[in-house]
């Protein structure tokens, strides 16, 4: 099988997905705007060929370059696991006559308003919403939906440029910050706990799913620098308390006509128990949440996805063994990391349960916490018992401190 993968070297886990395809017997061809010499070694070893283009965002030029470079080659699949490239992958499939997510289907994943309209038509509970492209439109939508509101880009990813607005005065203050966003989704604010429903899906059937719990919900974490956000991949993802959410996840994938690939859905549980859809991407979650799945079940999730895409089945039996917590840390101060407090004591107490530590060492420049959830590094740990997992995660969140100056 010949598989073309977009941007095999970026973001951080794309090399692992590229490896997963190759290890399942595919001849993998990459296309991206990175120079060949800049590709990670893992990618170089996995690829059967690489096509560097001037820009991944010039669809016509990419198509022309691929036509020239792939003469005599047939493609069986075109894969993209990075949000900005989902539409380009669909356009390439249409041009080359490859099965997979179509342009129309991909549009419903990228356009939050089209997505929710399709789900509304299927009877799935979504936040009340409106798409607007003007300040006047924002005010009209606010009057119709009522405060509090969420404002977010129609084609955004994660929590970037997303605001909770409590009142007309707050809306007036936020609108200037969204001038660079072409179109905005104005939504009902759903007050509740926020979770994910992540899947590997094969021909519309879910072969594997994961549920993760955001502590606190991303909008709160994005608004307060002092918070150490947590994501908890839950061992008991099939607990009856999640049955209605899992049913909704199946309904969402069916309504959006998703065939084969990775999906990342976010949803809410209100205090009265109601389950409400948030949004879904036709790609895996970021911030190393795929690695959480690996550590939760002790399986190679990247190869499992590769098997699903190339062989139409998972090549492994999956057993849920652990809850996995990732605690993302943000240094106090500006400049470079000067020192870390609490690490030695926490390692003594919980070291046996830590599976990954990416904290920036002293001397490293701080990252912009508003631009990356990974921030200044994270601790990933696991335990079979959820209460023990949460206790360790909270200790890391409150007792581990990075300082910068």
Distance of CA 303 to the CA centre of its chain: 18
In a domain, 123, yes or no: no
Q: Which domain holds residue 338?
A: 322-405
Q: Residue 392 domain-assigned?
A: yes
Statement to judge: residues 221 and 282 lie in one domain: yes
One domain, residues 237 and 310: yes
The pLDDT tens digits of the residues spanning 137-156 come to 999 999 999 999 999 888 76
Among residues 266, 299, 319, the one where a domain terminates is: 319
280 and 314 share a domain? Answer: yes
pLDDT tens-place string over residues 327-342 = 999 999 999 999 999 9
Which pair of tokens denotes residue 8? 């095999």
Strands (E), 61-158: 77-79, 129-132, 149-153
Pairing of strands 205-210, 192-202: antiparallel
Residues with Cβ < 8 Å from 250, sequence gap 6 or more? 206
C-beta separation of 312 from 369 below 8 A: no
User: What's the confidence (pLDDT) of residue 156?
Assistant: 65
pLDDT of residue 181: 87
Decide if 333 is inside a domain.
Answer: yes
- 308 in a structural domain: yes
**pLDDT of 71 over the 90 cut:** no
| pLDDT tens column, 343-375 | 999 999 999 999 999 999 999 999 999 989 999
| Helix (H/G/I), strand (E/B), else coil: 79 | strand
**Is the pLDDT reported for residue 27 higher than 90?**
yes
Q: For 155-183, how does the pLDDT look when each residue is reduced to its tens digit (9 = 90+)?
A: 766 567 889 999 999 999 999 989 888 88
Residues 288, 299: one domain? Answer: yes
Give dist(CA 214, CA 204) in Å, integer: 27
**Does 95 reside within a domain?**
yes
In a domain, 114, yes or no: no
Q: How many angstroms separate the CA atoms of 249 and 134, rounded?
A: 32
pLDDT for residue 231: 98
> To the nearest whole number, what is the mean pLDDT of the chain?
95
Same domain? 68 vs 180: no
Show the tokens assigned to 114.
């089209």
Residues 6+ apart with CB under 8 A from 104: none
State which of 298, 319, 340 marks the end of a domain: 319
What is the predicted pLDDT for the residue at 159?
Answer: 62
Assess whether 232 and 298 both reside in one domain: yes
- Give the burial class of 226: count Cβ atoms within 10 A of its Cβ; 0-12 exposed, 13-18 middle, 19 or more buried: exposed
Cα separation of 402 and 404, whole Å? 7
Q: Are residues 365 and 296 in the same domain?
A: no
170 plus 197 within the same structural domain: no
Helix axes of 112-121 and 103-110: crossing angle, nearest 10 degrees: 100
Q: H/E element holding 173? A: helix 168-174
Phi, psi of 330 (to 5 degrees): -125, 125
> What is the percent of the chain where pLDDT is above 90?
92
Domain of 145, CATH number, reads 3.30.1490.20
- Copy the structure tokens of residue 93: 């499939």
Please indicate, yes or no, whether residues 196 and 184 belong to a single structural domain of this protein. Answer: no
Count: domains in the chain? 4
The Cα–Cα gap between 45 and 65 comes to 23
Instruction: Please report whether residue 362 resides in a domain.
Output: yes
Whether residue 105 is contained in a domain is answered as no
The average pLDDT across 128-138 equals 92
């Amino acid at each position: 099988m010949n598989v073309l993968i977009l941007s095999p070297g970026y973001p951080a886990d794309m090399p692992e997905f590229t490896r997963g395809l190759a290890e399942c017997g595919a001849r993998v061809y990459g296309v991206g705007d990175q120079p060949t010499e800049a590709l990670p070694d893992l990618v170089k070893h996995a690829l059967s060929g690489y096509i560097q283009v001037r820009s991944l965002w010039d669809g016509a030029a990419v198509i022309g370059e691929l036509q020239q470079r792939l003469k005599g080659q047939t493609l069986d699949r075109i894969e993209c696991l990075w949000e900005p490239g989902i539409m380009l992958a669909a356009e390439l499939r249409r041009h080359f006559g490859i099965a997979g997510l179509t342009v129309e289907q991909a549009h419903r994943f990228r356009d939050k308003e089209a997505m929710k309209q399709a789900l509304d038509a299927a009877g799935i509970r979504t936040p009340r919403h409106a798409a607007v492209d003007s300040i006047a439109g924002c005010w009209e939508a606010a009057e119709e939906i009522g405060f509090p509101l969420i404002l977010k880009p129609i084609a955004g990813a994660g929590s970037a440029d997303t605001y909770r607005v409590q009142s007309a005065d707050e809306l007036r203050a936020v609108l200037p910050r969204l001038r660079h966003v072409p179109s905005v989704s104005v939504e009902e604010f759903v007050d509740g706990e926020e979770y994910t429903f992540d899947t590997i899906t094969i021909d519309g059937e879910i072969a594997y799913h994961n549920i993760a719990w955001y502590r606190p919900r991303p909008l709160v974490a994005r608004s307060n620098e002092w918070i150490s956000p947590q994501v908890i991949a839950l061992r008991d993802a099939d607990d009856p308390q999640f049955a209605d959410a899992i049913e909704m996840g199946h309904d969402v994938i069916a309504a959006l006509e998703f065939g084969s690939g990775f999906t990342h859905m976010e949803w809410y549980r209100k205090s009265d128990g109601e389950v409400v859809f948030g949004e879904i991407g036709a790609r895996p979650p970021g911030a190393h949440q795929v690695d959480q799945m690996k550590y939760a079940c002790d399986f190679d999730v990247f190869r499992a996805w590769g098997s699903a895409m190339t062989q139409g089945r998972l090549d492994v039996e999956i057993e849920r063994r652990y809850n996995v917590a990732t605690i993302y840390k943000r240094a106090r101060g500006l400049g470079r990391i000067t020192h870390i407090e609490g690490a030695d004591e926490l390692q003594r107490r919980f070291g046996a349960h830590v599976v990954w530590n990416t904290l920036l060492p002293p001397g490293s420049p701080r990252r912009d916490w508003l631009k990356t959830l990974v921030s200044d590094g994270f601790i990933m740990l696991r335990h079979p018992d959820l209460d023990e997992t949460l206790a360790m995660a909270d200790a890391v969140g409150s007792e581990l401190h990075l300082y910068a100056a």
